[in-house]
Structure 1
Amino acid sequence: MDHDFIDTIYEAAVVPELSKGPGLLDQLARRSQSRDGVLMGVSPDGDFRWIGNDSVIPKMQAYIDGGWGSKNPYLHSEERSRKFAEPRFLMDTDVMSVEEMMESEYYQGFMRPHGCFWHAGTGITSPSGDIIKLSVHRSFEEGPLPKEVTTALTELRPHLARAALLASRLKFEQIKSTVDAMETLGIWAAALKNGRLVVANKSFASLIPGVIRDHRRRLVFAQKAADARWASLLDARVAKLGGSFPIAAEDEHPAMVVHALPIAGAAHDIFNAADLLLAITPVLKDAKVDDGILAGLYDLTPAEASVAREIGLGRSVDEVAKSRDVSVGTVRAQLHAVFDKTGSKRQIDLARLIFGLSK
């Protein structure tokens, strides 16, 4: 057993960047008489992430762009999937016959043209339910991988599995530390993955179940308008783009603003414990509200922020138009944009949102 390489495995678990380029995955491929080394993460919802050595990067991009994941014959057979769940490395020929591979659209349309026809791989289940798939590949012309390759890889598998679980746990602890730190700043914060709650600080947890409900499918907001806005952000892949939306004041709580903040790099991190931070801040009744704050909270233009503040103070559209020497139509258009961005439907709703008025 190569103890130096085992050290490399655990080092890469702590510093994931060491898996890429000429790092762990490239070394694993070369030790396996292969060219490509790739690590893929598949969530229970089908969310797909990957990292690899340099040679596999253009191939994986073509794999994703061509939708080849949905054509993978291993996923279409319960028996084949069950085999890859065994705690060992398997070669493709352990799961499919050469004849089946030669007739497969997946192998002939993607694997062979991209020089990754023959491969060996294994699956590792993480505590979050994600399946971590680790595989090495080489071209059709180079011939099937020797049997001793899977034997050697299987000897390394316990170390690779422990390293994967360690990396997953470290990521979770990093996210938890971030959420807890936001508590000290007076921010109600939680980390989510695919819309579901992963970890929350005490202030955020206090909002459950009155304001927020921790459902298994996704986090749900008690107010229908807020939840509809949240659902629309999820549909728009908020984990990549971010967004903000309001929660109107009620007798039990002030108005609040929910900020959805993408966790940088999560899309490319196999072991990401979460992909989104939710930071909730109350809007206090006596708080001073300026245009810059409104613009930042709701992605408003300077003109829209100014109109929002004036309307929130109880001024009419006509009064705002006259004071700015613009047409009523211009102010109405800006107000409609404000309604859309804040999730408000009426001027009174906007006032409640901005100034924390009770119902």
Structure 2
Amino acid sequence: MAVKPFQRYWGKAVQDQERFTDKIYEAALIPELWPSVLDELAKLAGGIGTILFASTGNSTRWISSESTHQVMEKFVADGWMDRNTRAARLLNYDFQGFVTDLDVYTREELEQDPVYREALRPVGLGWGAATAIPAPSGELLVFSIERKFSDGPVERHRLAALDAARPHLARAALLSSRLVFERAKLIVETLNMLGLPAAVIDSSRRVIAHNDMFLTMAPQIQISARNVVSVTDLKARSLFEEAVKTFSLRTSSGCSLPLSAIDSSPPAVLHVLPLRGDARDVFSGATGLLLINPIDTRAVPSVKLLQGLFDLSPGEARVAKAILAGGGVKSAAGQLGISDQTVRTHLKAIFAKTGQNSQASLLALLSGSAKYEPTPGKIRDTK
């Protein structure tokens, strides 16, 4: 009797095959389980780990088995992603299944390719298997299994087990992508009910989901024909674009940016917040949440509100409130019991965080923040 592909590499045959298949679909619903699935997938090829790439053409995102995570981080940090020819070779081969290095390269090419010679082999890698799965959204998903160079090329008979798992991997990955998109829609619609214009964006500032209120923020916020969000205010634009670039950093904590009044639209505050979650990032590309607070010019805001809106320190917020109350540097220093130099130091920090360059422009921007002062109250039971 012929041995089925999974039976050859999962000792207990059918039970282990079913367990692995169940785990794949469980990861579709709980994206954080993908690294574990990728680890088990690698075992079918005698590999040490698997990397899952998602590419839109403009950017490539990835998650991996724990065992290959540090290697992949260094691979990206050293700039090898831009020089990697493996994906192009895989696509040109155009095969609906897993292929090995020797399917898409000659041995001579492998010896000469810098990625293999300078990046993979020095860390003990250099053989593997991969497959590409196009998504309906236009993205390309690539499962790339890495194997030790000392273990030699992936054997042909191992590909049968990988191909048996491929349809399940494809369906689960596409389901993960759809579910994460629905999650993004739920986030912005919930914020819409709370009266907050909001959008979820990717690292290229492409809008993944937005609510109706976000569209009312034109002309301060614009969405281009290519679905890319931009800020009209020149002072805030560069700060916004720089903030989005930091989303890939684990240390990114977001920021709050001022949007000047345009025509009849009041000034506003744009909050740029990073979204966490490696696996979700891969399947949706969602890296940031945008929240907007329009403001008017009716009263002086509290220290607490200024801190929350513009990420000011307590000392900076007290100086900002003193300036907004109508005093200059000397008046603020006397009121707060600090030196003129300390006030100027705080003002310099306030200007940097709000994108302003003078007390007059700061006053014009912040004087209306009081409209969003939270009012204590009870939550009414609607049951």
Residue in 1 aligned with 2:378?
Answer: none
Deviations 1:150-209 (A, max 9, x none): 23323432321121111011111111111111112221111001212111111112224x
| CA distance in 2 between partners of 1:189 and 1:111 (Å) | 42
| CA distance in 2 between partners of 1:221 and 1:58 (Å) | 36
Q: CA deviation at 1:3?
A: 4.5
Residue in 2 aligned with 1:88?
Answer: 97
1:8 aligns with 2:53: no
Determine if contact 1:171/1:272 at 8 Å carries over to the other structure.
yes
TM score, norm. by length of structure 1 = 0.87
Q: SS of the counterpart of 1:41?
A: strand
Q: Indicate how the Cα distance of structure 1 residues 120 and 97 shifts in structure 2: closer, same or farther if over 3 A, else same.
A: same
| CA distance in 2 between partners of 1:158 and 1:180 (Å) | 33
Q: CA deviation at 1:274?
A: 0.9
> Which residue among 302, 305, 308 is the counterpart of 2:314?
302
Q: CA deviation at 1:354?
A: 1.6
Deviations 1:99-148 (A, max 9, x none): 22123332233323333322110122334543321022322222222222
> Which residue among 119, 130, 142 is the counterpart of 1:121?
130
Query: Structure 2 counterpart of 1:51, which letter?
Result: S
Query: Structure 1 counterpart of 2:311, which letter?
Result: D
> Which residue among 340, 351, 362 is the counterpart of 1:328?
340
Residue in 2 aligned with 1:145?
Answer: 154
Determine if contact 2:231/2:237 at 8 Å carries over to the other structure.
yes
RMSD (Å) for aligned C-alpha atoms: 2.6
1:156 aligns with 2:169: no
> Which residue among 215, 221, 229 is the counterpart of 1:212?
221
| CA distance in 1 between partners of 2:94 and 2:180 (Å) | 24
| CA distance in 1 between partners of 2:159 and 2:103 (Å) | 10
Q: CA deviation at 1:27?
A: 2.0
Structure 1 segment 163-242 matched on structure 2, within 5 A: 163-194=172-203, 195-208=205-218, 210-215=219-224, 216=226, 218-237=228-247, 240-242=252-254
> Which residue among 59, 73, 81 is the counterpart of 1:69?
81
Determine if contact 2:63/2:278 at 8 Å carries over to the other structure.
no
| CA distance in 2 between partners of 1:85 and 1:286 (Å) | 64
Residue in 2 aligned with 1:285?
Answer: 297
- The alignment-based identity, stated in percent, is 34
Structure 1 segment 7-26 matched on structure 2, within 5 A: 7-20=22-35, 23-26=36-39
| CA distance in 1 between partners of 2:212 and 2:49 (Å) | 45
Residue in 1 aligned with 2:367?
Answer: 355
> Which residue among 238, 257, 262 is the counterpart of 1:245?
257
| CA distance in 2 between partners of 1:9 and 1:326 (Å) | 62
| CA distance in 2 between partners of 1:192 and 1:137 (Å) | 31
Q: Can you give the 5+ residue segments of structure 1 that lack an aligned partner in the other structure?
A: none
Determine if contact 1:84/1:123 at 8 Å carries over to the other structure.
no
Q: SS of the counterpart of 2:282?
A: coil
Structure 1 range deviating more: 197-206 or 130-139 = 130-139
Deviations 1:221-262 (A, max 9, x none): 222222233133234448733111011234522221111111
Query: Structure 2 counterpart of 1:147, which letter?
Result: R
Q: Give the aligned length.
A: 350
Q: SS of the counterpart of 1:271?
A: helix
Q: CA deviation at 1:81?
A: 4.8
Determine if contact 2:31/2:279 at 8 Å carries over to the other structure.
no
1:98 aligns with 2:111: no
Q: Indicate how the Cα distance of structure 1 residues 126 and 314 shifts in structure 2: closer, same or farther if over 3 A, else same.
A: farther
Q: SS of the counterpart of 2:128?
A: strand
> Which residue among 50, 55, 72 is the counterpart of 1:37?
50
Structure 1 range deviating more: 157-166 or 29-38 = 29-38
Structure 1 range deviating more: 234-243 or 190-199 = 234-243
Q: CA deviation at 1:33?
A: 3.0
TM score, norm. by length of structure 2 = 0.82
Q: SS of the counterpart of 2:286?
A: coil
Q: Can you give the 5+ residue segments of structure 2 that lack an aligned partner in the other structure?
A: 5-16, 370-383
